[in-house]
Amino acid sequence: MAVSGLKHKSLIVHRPILEYILEKNVYPKEHEQLKELREATAQKYREKSIMNVPADEGQFLSMLLKIMNAKKTMEIGVFTGYSLLATALALPEDGQITAIDLDKEAYETGLPFIQKAGVEHKINFIESDAFSVLNDLINGEAEVSFDFIFVDAKKTDYMKYHEQVLKLVKVGGIIAYDNTLWFGSVAYSQEERDEIPESVWRSKEYVIQFNSLLAADHRVESSLVSIGDGVTLCRRLF
């Protein structure tokens, strides 16, 4: 077994297949500002650039949003904003995105590309801890109002986020949790620990517990999609 490479964050470990998908389908259709943002992030952040969703996942999320006819969305965890820009491009002209992250500097790295794409007006970026923003929304008038919520934040907090965002997404709406296969580490045993970077191993059990919680949650139907290093789609049932 080989853990997903930390340089390209894909569970397709046979490199030629991944390159075929990217070169023959993803990159030819990638918006120019998405490409520029992706390249600028890699240049500035190097290994940390994997904190953005990979291009094939961004393409998948964009199509999903269009199929849903989503109009009002939220993103928890933005980094430089590859998935945020992909979302903004997919939403209609009057679409709205609430984007939450403590790292404003990273967001501002991607902001020129968002502006160049002409979609900044769709984004309300909030520099804050997400829990306080979510509590304010729940206590206000925003409860049960979002079509789509994308969560790409600390894995140790996913279970707490789940209870809050379930109150904010519409019945029939989608919550997408990123990294739910966590570089493939969820399938590793204790004996294989040496094959996994310590930074990945530390969060592995939290991801496993979260996946078990989703599988048992009767309030949602879910599908764990093996794109990137796993994204779980949860549709709120009631």
Chain length of the chain: 238
Residue 198 is inside which H or E element, if any? helix 198-216
CA distance 162 to 178: 12
From first to last of its 238 residues, the chain has per-residue pLDDT tens of 444 445 557 776 678 888 999 999 999 999 999 999 999 999 999 999 999 999 999 999 999 999 999 999 999 999 999 999 999 999 999 999 999 999 999 999 999 999 999 999 999 999 999 999 999 999 986 667 999 999 999 999 999 999 999 999 999 999 999 999 998 899 988 878 777 788 888 899 999 999 999 999 999 999 999 999 999 999 999 9
pLDDT at 11: 74
Q: Which residue has the tokens 């918006």?
A: 31
Residue 229, classed as helix, strand or coil, is coil
pLDDT at 7: 54
CA distance 72 to 131: 19
**pTM flag (> 0.75):** yes
**Among 136, 135, 83, CA closest to 110:** 83
**Among 210, 133, 49, CA closest to 124:** 133
pLDDT at 100: 98
| 69 class by beta-carbon count within 10 Å (0-12 exposed, 13-18 middle, 19+ buried) | exposed
CA distance 170 to 84: 20
